[in-house]
Amino acid sequence: MTAQPTKHSAATDVSWTIRRVLEWTTDHLRRHGSQTPRLDAEILLAHARGCQRIKLYTRYEGLLSNGERQAMRELVQRRAQHEPVAYLVGHREFFSLNLRVTSDVLIPRPDTETLVVELLERLKGQPEPRILDVGTGSGCIAVAVAVNKPDAQVTAIDISLPALEIARVNASQHQVAGRIRFLQGDLFATFQSRSGSGRTGSEKFEIIVSNPPYVAEGEWETLQADVRLHEPRLSLLAGPDGLDVIRRVVAEASDFLVPGGHLLLEIDPGQAETVTELLRSQETYEEIGVSKDLAGKERLVYAGRRS
């Protein structure tokens, strides 16, 4: 796709159909390490053409304009350098919602949808539940809950102001900005400072949910290049064993749960036993358990606040 047309090579222009561009790009990205080269090619080409992916196949033998070819060329070059597709096109689907994403936020993963499913299941029959999303990032969890549980009162916290701006954009896009309170702070510290009364402030929630950083420092170099080179370290790394943030959440969350409230945590599957033991070590938790994601991996740890 790098060939440039001249007045003597009209056939070059004719040859760059949607079909050929997809085939060439798929092969190119596969050779540069993409695990989903065809999907990447389709998403990038649809973005370059400003159309839906399905529209690529209704004009499979159609030609790309010079502008579309140039846009596609630049996107493919960046993707070949492991820049994530979601950052290149500026959005990612999560829980059937199209969400804005930039390099200021972690890209929402299908694994995290397990967290949302579990949360919504626990909200059934609860009128006007108060939900706290700790480390909201793109706002994917908070927005998904607000959209699917219209009477929920959602609070979303993140230490990163740029991330909160993205979360606000997503809330506005899905018309739930008026039902989500966004706060900047380090985990529960914002409530401590607002209440002025130490850890046990007046803020209480029926459910606290978090997809915290849980990658161990020693695992950093083993991560895929897409993640290691482009996604925010702040959203990924959590100390020597990956549990620095989870330990803090476990230790502090019960002070902000109503009796009978629940804490839901996304984890690395290898951390399930350790995190459940952390919860058991706190006298304030009961009904501790683990849920699996769609791949059958232990992805979610939950616990109830003792009455």
Helix intervals (H) in the chain: 10-15, 18-31, 37-49, 53-56, 66-80, 85-89, 113-123, 140-148, 161-173, 189-195, 225-230, 244-253, 272-280
Same domain for 109 and 52: no
Distance between CA 139 and CA 10 in Å, rounded?
A: 48
Please, what are the averages of pLDDT over each run of 10 residues along the chain (307 residues)? 43 72 96 94 96 91 93 96 96 96 96 95 94 98 98 97 98 97 94 57 89 94 92 94 96 95 96 96 95 93 94
Same domain for 158 and 66: no
Same domain for 99 and 77: no
Single out the residue in 57, 81, 105 at which a domain terminates: 81
Distance between CA 124 and CA 246 in Å, rounded?
A: 27
Single out the residue in 22, 54, 81 at which a domain terminates: 81
Predicted structure pTM score: 0.89
Full domain range(s) for residue 53: 10-81
- What is the reported pLDDT for 200? 52
Antiparallel, parallel or unpaired: β 180-184 and 153-158: parallel
Residue 161 in any domain: the answer is yes
What CATH number should be reported for the domain holding residue 40? Answer: 1.10.8.10
Helices 161-173 and 140-148: angle between axes, nearest 10 degrees: 30
Same domain for 118 and 31: no
What CATH number should be reported for the domain holding residue 290? Answer: 3.40.50.150
Say how many domains are in the chain: 2
Tokens for 9?
């090579």
DSSP-derived letter for residue 121 is: H
Residue 19 in any domain: the answer is yes
Burial classification of residue 175, based on how many CB atoms lie within 10 Å of its CB (0-12 exposed, 13-18 middle, 19 or more buried): exposed
- What is the reported pLDDT for 16? 87
Single out the residue in 25, 58, 81 at which a domain terminates: 81
- What is the reported pLDDT for 15? 79
Same domain for 249 and 149: yes
Residue 3 in any domain: the answer is no
